[in-house]
């Protein structure tokens, strides 16, 4: 057995098999699993209810690759951005967003991103690799600790809105969420988790078939194919019609909330005609809300955020047509931690 085996990559059954080969009792797997996923142990010496000899065996045959905090930046508004280093020296970013009644962790799912959304700094990075489930889990653990230190309470919400496209790392993202929500793991409520996607229709349908219990957010950002193709090239193979059909299917199978994310770009997607098309999309779904997002400037693009007047007219049209729209206030802009700004500058 090689000592390069990552113990956190093993299922409980696989761990039992490995331990049996080491002449250990199967019940030890449950103890180890609890240390790893419930108590978030990252060193075998922390596993104090295991014998010294077993801990030595574990060190000889397995490894744990925890992510580490490389750098922390604190915004004037209380937002905290962390640069995390992975075992292979790649870096990713995660954000803690505290408010009066919430503490939200924004986590990444990939190193870089393969999509090229023109308003997003991450889209200008090369996708290096997918994150493993334990690397996603570790972000939640570390941001939860930061929440306790910063605001005196743990995380209330988790959003997969950091670096990367979660549905292009499907199995690892779902595995991480299982560890985060399981009673054998962190035991956080699935309804407090939102996975945000740029829109991959077949994978949204797979979420439905897998009966996921978390919430889904679709980064829509334009209500017709011509405009969406221009700012989000993924739309060329995942048209709005295909996405709406996938969301209808998702809602027929799952109880999680569906939200549209919509960044208002001046003279791009912020007219009343755009709002009208958005209403028409929403009317085809059972229940959907809109998060209207202020555009946060990035060096790589020349977009300008919509004026307050245009934004208010846009939201008023949605409201008058019975579409719930909320303005999502940008947080952490001064440290490049706001929506669309994560670019590994740290």
- Using alpha carbons, select from 227, 220, 228, 221 the residue that is nearest to residue 246: 220
Give yes or no: 261 in active site. no
Which of these is catalytic: 106, 113, 117, 339? 339
How many residues in the chain? 346
Give yes or no: 14 in active site. no
- The token pair at 319 is 């409201």
Which of these is catalytic: 93, 135, 165, 261? 93
Is residue 223 within 8 A of residue 278, CB to CB? The reply is yes
- The token pair at 66 is 């925890």
DSSP letters, 258-325, are: EEEEEEEBTTTS-SHHHHHHHHHHHTTSSS-EEEEEE----TT----BPPHHHHHHHHHHHHHTT-EE
The gap from C-alpha 289 to its chain's centroid, in whole angstroms, comes to 19
Is residue 20 within 8 A of residue 26, CB to CB? The reply is yes
Strand, coil or helix: what is 158? strand
Strand, coil or helix: what is 260? strand
Strand, coil or helix: what is 178? helix
| Burial of residue 65, with CB atoms counted within 10 A of its CB: 0-12 exposed, 13-18 middle, 19 or more buried | middle
**Which residues have a catalytic role annotated?**
93, 339
């Amino acid at each position: 057995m090689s000592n390069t085996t990552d113990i956190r990559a093993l299922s409980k059954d696989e761990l039992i098999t490995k331990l049996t080969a080491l002449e250990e009792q199967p019940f030890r797997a449950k103890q180890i699993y609890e240390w790893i996923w419930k108590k978030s142990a990252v060193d075998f010496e922390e596993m104090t209810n295991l014998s010294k000899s077993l801990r030595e065996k574990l060190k000889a045959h397995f490894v744990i690759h925890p992510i580490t905090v490389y750098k922390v930046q604190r915004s004037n508004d209380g937002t905290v951005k962390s640069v995390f280093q992975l075992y292979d020296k790649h870096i990713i970013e995660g954000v803690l967003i505290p408010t009066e009644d919430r503490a939200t962790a924004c986590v990444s799912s990939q190193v870089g991103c393969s999509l090229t959304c023109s308003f997003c700094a991450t889209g200008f990075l090369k996708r290096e690799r997918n994150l493993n489930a334990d690397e996603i889990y570790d972000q939640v653990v570390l941001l939860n600790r930061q929440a306790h230190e910063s605001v005196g309470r743990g995380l209330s919400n988790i959003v997969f809105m950091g670096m990367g496209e979660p549905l292009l790392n499907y199995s690892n993202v779902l595995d991480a969420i299982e560890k985060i929500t399981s009673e054998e793991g962190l035991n956080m409520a699935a309804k407090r988790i939102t996975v945000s996607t740029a829109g991959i229709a077949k994978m949204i349908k797979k979420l439905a078939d897998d009966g996921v219990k978390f919430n889904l957010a679709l980064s829509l950002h334009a209500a017709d194919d011509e405009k969406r193709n221009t700012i989000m090239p993924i739309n060329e193979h995942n048209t709005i019609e295909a996405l709406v059909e996938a969301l209808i299917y998702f809602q027929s199978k799952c109880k999680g909330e569906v939200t549209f994310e919509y960044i208002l770009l001046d003279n791009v997607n912020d007219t009343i005609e755009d709002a009208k098309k958005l209403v028409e999309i929403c009317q085809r779904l059972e229940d959907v809300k809109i998060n209207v997002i202020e555009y946060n400037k990035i060096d790589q693009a020349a977009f300008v955020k919509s004026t307050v007047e245009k934004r208010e007219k846009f939201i008023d049209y949605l409201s008058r047509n019975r579409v719930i729209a909320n303005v999502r206030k940008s947080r952490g802009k001064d440290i490049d931690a706001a929506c669309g700004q994560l670019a590994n500058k740290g």
